Structure 1
Amino acid sequence: MSQPLVSVRDLVIGAVTDSGREVEIIRHVSFDIQPGEIVALIGESGSGKTTIALSLMGHCRPGCSINGGSIQLGAQDVTKLTEPQRARLRGTEVSYIPQSAAAAFNPSQRIMDQVIEITDIHNLMPRPEAEAKAVELFRALALPEPDSIGQRYPHQVSGGQLQRLSAAMALIGDPQLVIFDEPTTALDVTTQIEVLRAFRSVMQGSGMAGVYVSHDLAVVAQVADRIIVLKEGQIQEVGMTRDILDAPQHPYTQELLAAFKPVPFASVKSPVAKAEAPILEVNNLSAGYGPTRSGEAEFKVLDNINFQMERGTNLGVIGESGSGKSTLARAVAGILPRYKGDVFSQGEALSPDLKDRSKDQLRRLQIVFQLADTALNPAQPIDSILSRPLKFYHGMTGKARERRVIELLDMVQLPAAMRHRLPGELSGGQKQRVNFARALAAEPDLILCDEITSALDTVVAAAMLDLLKDLQRDLGLSYMFISHDLSTVEAICDDVLVMLKGELVESLPAAQMNESAEHPYSRLLISSVPKLDPDWLANLEHNPELAKAMQGR
């Protein structure tokens, strides 16, 4: 075997807690990466994936430090370099592709200026040569209009295109090692395919090595040669990708694989429910953004949407980014007033604008947003966040309200003591549970769940789905589930709506999506869900039906 490009030995990374206590968050980790090899670091949130990956660049997050071991990158020990020496490595020897490309780009500068910036910082080549090389990368990454896309601003390209442009930014300095930090987590399934295909093509053609940080095993299966399984800062198992997926040895790896496929769930429709008015009925709903002119919004998003839900059932809404899924949830909730159509809850008409709805109408229909980080006030303790709806909807005060806050935390399986903490002191999964508890405080009949598991790792997301199922059985709730994760929709929903460019193209039973889908776009979405098979992406490229659907969408 050739000399490793990266050799990590006995790595220890420490952190200082808020109370000043020193703890080890990465504990004696050792592994090698060969030239041209892509190694995946997998594990749930807090396992140390990103911390280890960043350390390969000599970088630690605030409050953390490398306290032991060595990181050999080529001929240099990164742990022994000064910060200026490490800065010279970044972009040339090792580069980084972030999870959120939108956060990596300056919105006020053209894309080309940002992609080639590293060549100017390190004096790698003249600008005309750098621009020509960038265009070559744009073409290799299958970006549209590669000769001119660099003249656009970041907001003028899609999320998937921006993620590939961030890859071009990382690759232009010809690094030996590229770190991919969950670069497809926020992308819908069809966009994810395009990005994965582009990444794999460029990496195979260049011979660069890669570290792929992810909690999505199906994505890892398409790009990684080898997998390192992490938990609480320690390696649990290492193996070739196919061996790990087909025959995991460690119980924790087996748990990760089991969590990847949530157990399908069908809600129980009571005979009474069928005789009742639907929990939600939407007729000819159209909505958009900007001022209303001639009876339509300036920027129309939803066009003539019709569906209904029975009490106690769950409805999934799927589609690519920009298909109108979240806009539909906001229009139903009244956050975005519709300009046409009707929305009924249990036979009662709901005003387009939530400010015109009664307190009881607001109480019965709640929405839980995708990002708990932005949905929860960072300056308010959990107790205050949960107390507000209790006072608003039920007039609760004093000891009664305090008892109910504790009950709500117990309902979402969080300890009572957590009510004294701020959101920033909670993990991603804990924050999303608080986000959900706030909706439960209203005692609703229907909860609109807008991508509530998309930012969570596989194990935490599976636990969240189990919680939703338990609460539905106990409280008789109904859920409308907005998602681009089809396995999640299949696990929680009875029926599924497929949306494309603001229109409803098909309605399907969730349990028979594969067999029942007739519309080409529905088949495209279903075919685009990665499988736990390293050959899946390669086989997909030779699927003529999928290729035709991709061109026609």
Structure 2
Amino acid sequence: MSAHVSVRNLRIVAGSKAIVDGVSFEIARGKVLALIGESGSGKTTIALALMGHSRFGATISGEVLLGETRVDQLDEAGLQALRGRRVAYVAQSAASAFNPSRTIMSQVTEPLLVHRLASKADAEVRAVDLFRALALPFPESIGARYPHQLSGGQLQRLMAAMALITRPELVILDEPTTALDVTTQVEVLKAFKAAIASVGATAIYVSHDLAVVAQMADQILVLNQGRTKEQGAAEQILHAPTDDYTRTLMAAASPTERSAPAVVAGDALLKVEGVHAAYGRLPVLHDISLQLARGATLGVIGESGSGKSTLARVIAGLLPRSAGSVRLGGEELPKGIDGRSREQFRRVQLVFQNADTALNPVHTVGQTLARPLAFYHGLKGAEAKAEVARLLDMIRLPADLATRNVRQLSGGQKQRVNLARALAARPDVLLCDEVTSALDTVVGAAILELIDELRRELGIATVFISHDISTVRAFCDQVLVLYGGTAVEQADAAAFARGVHHPYTDLLMHSVPEMRAGWLEQAVTRKAVLPSEVGDDLCRFLPRCPVAIDGRCNAEAAPLRAGDGFALLCHHELQTLRELTA
């Protein structure tokens, strides 16, 4: 059978540097090829070349064929006819892909109308059919909404609808679930897979999540610095790789649980008691309490909107708490920024998720790191320069990087600088908010190892916020599970590994993709069993709980069930819960 997509000796040069060098592959009609590798390996560059697109100033050579069409030889008019019609692109960030001033329906149907493939009425009928196929709520009316009225998972599926509505021959999916939590990701992946199959499209899937690749790909191409390291059937690449670099990727995708470190005995360094917080009139956190010793790490997990980042903002003072207390070393911290001293700011540092927006792109690395040194420690001149060099060495970056602009760095380098800026304050508490979610497996693993090493060496207490439960289990001494702003489970690492879990925690754990084909088809989407209005004093997980007890869960507040090193909120006895979630 002849290939539907064929790429031969693809070479993409920017300036004097080949960012893709001699890559070749073929994809049969209806099959999915995954491109994997570290950041900067050329994955997205190759994918975009299939649309005849390259970054400004770059040149494409070699052959790119879609059916009988030489994409690399098309003029501008030919490329315009190709893009959005025969080739469609699904980007990583759905939020930035939509125009906030236009309805969803007008944007999803636009490709059909631009290419004059259907009337407005027919286009809207086809859109509703896609909304239904992608398992979107209220498919007949969701098109009348605006982007800001929808969740991230819904927008991601709607972006797929926009891509698939022309029934393209080739669909390019570029990290389409990276920003989604695990439960939403399962739903979106299932919807993607079914919808692509329904239009009979061939697909390119760009990802650094190898467990996701195992669910989506028939073949895999492994890239490193723009060159092919290995390619073959997905099963072979994932489970019997022959190249050393591929083996490195596989090892980084499976974090190993470490032994718990020795922490300083005595009173907790950070103590949060009965904290409530809200955005305006919208309550977000409800009665949150936790303790963290010097040198220990607390993992905070939960879906998007569970209150994880809000908790970090409250501890840092960026969002004033409405009730409760936050104590650092026995000293109660003021509710918000206005009341905190410079020293209190110094002791609690927040490392933001997105280094691209957290760092000023026009500043050099040296300027970025020198600012907190001057602000908190009064260091200037030669002293500051020496400390910048020490910080760069601490985060495993060369000293000459200090003269480079932030915008010239890779994603992994930016995140290291983002971390170093927080460490420059010499904090007691480090709040890490999804610091590896946008990084590839190798760079993400390196960042985690670095944070782990530094907090042990420096005795920093770390709050690690993530929707990746596997990373939290491998990295943290304690785990806090949030749902709807409520702590439904808390445990130390040993108890979390062996113990019974809240039904919500169980859902999160069973939503983490496994590195085997067929897992996605077997994953069960949990449905509500007791539709009801959930009051503030009732279990917030009630509408989704598969083991809810009618007449109790929807009538009484759940009691706290405690065991050796853990506690959770549930009406079920611990032994019963263990059997139900086994």
Report the TM-score, using the length of structure 2 for normalisation: 0.90
Q: How far apart are the structure 1 equivalents of 2:255 and 2:91?
A: 27
Report if the CA contact (8 A) 1:27-1:234 is conserved: yes
- Separation in 2, partners of 1:551, 1:192: 20
What corresponds to 2:535 in structure 1?
A: none
Match of 2:21 in 1: 27
The equivalent of 2:111 in structure 1 is: 118
Task: Report the CA distance shift for 1:544/1:444 in structure 2 as closer, same or farther (over 3 A).
Answer: closer
C-alpha distance in structure 2 between counterparts of 1:356 and 1:419, whole Å: 34
SS in 1 for 2:81: helix
Q: Which of these residues, 67, 85, 89, is aligned with residue 92 of structure 1?
A: 85
Contact 1:93-1:176 at 8 Å conserved across structures: yes
- 3-state SS in 1 of match to 2:516: coil
Q: Is the 8 A contact 1:524 1:546 kept in 2?
A: no
When structure 1 is superposed on structure 2, of 402-411 and 203-212 the one drifting more is 203-212
> What does the per-residue CA deviation read over 1:205-227, in whole Å, with 9 as the maximum and x for residues that have no partner?
33211000001100000011111
CA shift in 2, pair 1:512/1:242, >3 Å: farther
Moved over 4 A (4+): 543-551
1:310 aligned residue: 293
1:552 to 523, 527, 544: 544
Q: In structure 1, what is the equivalent of residue 556 of structure 2?
A: none
AA in 2 matched with 1:226: Q
Cα deviation for residue 269 of structure 1 reads 2.7
Deviation at 1:508, TM superposition (A): 2.3
Task: Give the whole-Å Cα distance in 1 for the aligned partners of 2:527 and 2:120.
Answer: 43
| Structure 2 spans left out of the alignment, 5+ residues | 531-540, 546-582
Report how far residue 485 of structure 1 moved: 1.0
Query: Is it true that 1:420 corresponds to 2:419 in the alignment?
Result: no
Listed one character per residue, the Cα deviations across residues 248-289 of structure 1 (whole Å, up to 9, x for unaligned) are 11111100000001222344234xx222x2111111101111
CA positional deviation for 1:102: 0.8
CA positional deviation for 1:65: 1.6
Match of 2:437 among 449, 454, 469: 454
Contact 2:527 2:544 in 1 (8 A): no
Is this contact kept in 1: 2:222–2:228, CA < 8 A?
yes
- Residues 1:511 and 1:225: Cα distance change in structure 2 (over 3 Å): farther
- 2:268 corresponds in structure 1 to 278
For the structure 1 residues 155 and 423, does the alpha-carbon distance in structure 2 shift closer, same or farther, using more than 3 Å as the test?
A: same
Shift in alpha-carbon separation, 1:212–1:188, aligned structure 2, 3 A: same
Of 254, 277, 295, which aligns to 1:287? 277
Residue from 64, 70, 74 that aligns with 1:77: 70
Percent identical residues: 53
1:546–1:131 distance in 2 versus 1, CA, 3 Å: closer
Corresponding residue SS for 1:164: helix
**What is the CA–CA distance in structure 1 between the aligned matches of 2:268 and 2:495, rounded to whole Å?**
23
Contact 1:514/1:526 (CA < 8 Å) preserved in 2?
Answer: no
Q: Give 2:347's aligned residue.
A: 364
Note the C-alpha offset of 1:193. 0.4
What residue is the counterpart of 1:199 in the other structure?
192
3-state secondary structure, aligned to 1:504: strand
Give the whole-Å Cα distance in 1 for the aligned partners of 2:529 and 2:269: 39
Q: Does 1:63 align with 2:53?
A: no
> Do 1:372 and 1:435's aligned partners in 2 also have CA atoms closer than 8 Å?
yes
1:547 and 1:160, CA in 2 relative to 1: closer, same or farther beyond 3 A?
farther
Instruction: Work out whether residues 38 and 209 of structure 1, in 8 Å CA contact, stay in contact via their aligned partners in 2.
Output: yes
TM-score (norm 1): 0.94
Contact 1:267 1:312 in 2 (8 A): no
Alignment of structure 1 residues 492-507 onto 2, 5 Å: 492-507=475-490
Answer whether contact 1:489 1:510 (CA < 8 A) is retained.
no
Structure 1 residue 146 corresponds to structure 2 residue 139:
yes
Closer/same/farther in 2, CA of residues 532 and 367 from structure 1, 3 Å limit? same
- Tell whether the 8 Å contact from 1:363 to 1:444 is kept in structure 2 after alignment: yes
Distance 2:120 2:439 in 1: 41
- Please point out which of 496, 509, 514 is paired with 1:513: 496
Question: Deviations along 1:94-118, whole A, 9 cap, x unmatched?
Answer: 1000000111100000000000001
Shift of 1:336: 0.6
Q: How does 1:182-197 map to 2 (within 5 A)?
A: 182-197=175-190
Other structure's SS at 1:380 match: coil
Query: Displacement, 1:355?
Result: 2.8
Do 1:266 and 1:492's aligned partners in 2 also have CA atoms closer than 8 Å?
A: no
Q: Is the 8 A contact 1:314 1:495 kept in 2?
A: yes
Partner in structure 1 of residue 580 of structure 2: none
Q: Is the 8 A contact 1:498 1:504 kept in 2?
A: yes
Cross-structure match for 1:528: 511
Aligned-pair distance for 1:201?
1.2
**Contact kept in structure 2, 1:224 and 1:241, CA below 8 Å:** yes
Alignment match, 1:45: 39
Deviation at 1:358, TM superposition (A): 2.1
Change in CA separation of 1:546 and 1:462 when aligned onto 2, cut-off 3 Å = farther
Does the Cα contact within 8 Å between 1:524 and 1:550 map onto a contact in 2? no
- 1:485-543 deviations in Å (ceiling 9; x for gaps): 112212220111000011111012335535424211010011111110112111223x8
Given that residues 273 and 289 in structure 2 are in contact (C-alpha distance below 8 angstroms), is that contact kept between their aligned partners in structure 1? Answer: yes
Q: Does 2:1 match 1:7? A: no
CA shift, 1:126, in A, is 0.5
Cross-structure match for 2:153: 160
Say whether residues 1:485 and 2:442 are aligned partners: no
Aligned to 1:328: 311
| Cα distance, 1:472 vs structure 2 | 1.8
The DSSP-based 3-state class of the residue aligned with 1:274 is coil
- 2:353 pairs with 1:381: no
Structure 1's 513 and 63: CA in aligned 2 closer, same or farther, altered over 3 A?
farther
For the Cα contact (< 8 Å) 1:508–1:517, is it kept in 2?
no
RMSD: 1.6
Deviation at 1:473, TM superposition (A): 2.4
Cα distance in 2, alignment partners of residues 220 and 40 from structure 1: 7
- Label 1:226 to 1:158 Cα distance change in 2 as closer, same or farther (>3 A): same
Give the secondary-structure state (helix, strand or coil) at the position aligned to 2:310. Answer: helix
User: What is the Cα deviation at residue 59 of structure 1?
Assistant: 0.7
CA contact (8 A) 2:526 2:544 kept: no
Amino acid paired to 1:407: R
Structure 2 counterpart of 1:208: 201
Partners of 1:43 and 1:546 in 2: CA distance = 39
Mapped partners of 1:492, 1:474: distance in 2: 15
Q: Distance in 1 between matches of 2:501 and 2:479?
A: 13
Matches of 2:210 and 2:528, distance apart in 1: 22
Correspondences of 1:172-251 after superposition (within 5 Å): 172-251=165-244
Structure 1 pair 514–161 and aligned structure 2 pair: CA distance change class (3 A)? farther
- Verify: 1:101 aligned to 2:94, yes or no: yes
Distance in 2 (CA, whole Å) between partners of 1:188 and 1:78 is 36
TM-aligned CA deviation for residue 546 of structure 1: 11
**Distance (Å, rounded) in 1 between the aligned partners of 2:200 and 2:279:** 46
SS of 1:300 mapped into structure 2:
strand
Match of 1:540 among 510, 520, 523: 523
Structure 2 CA distance for aligned equivalents of residues 363 and 14 of structure 1: 45
Q: Aligned with 2:265: secondary structure?
A: helix
CA distance in 2, matches of 1:450, 1:519: 23
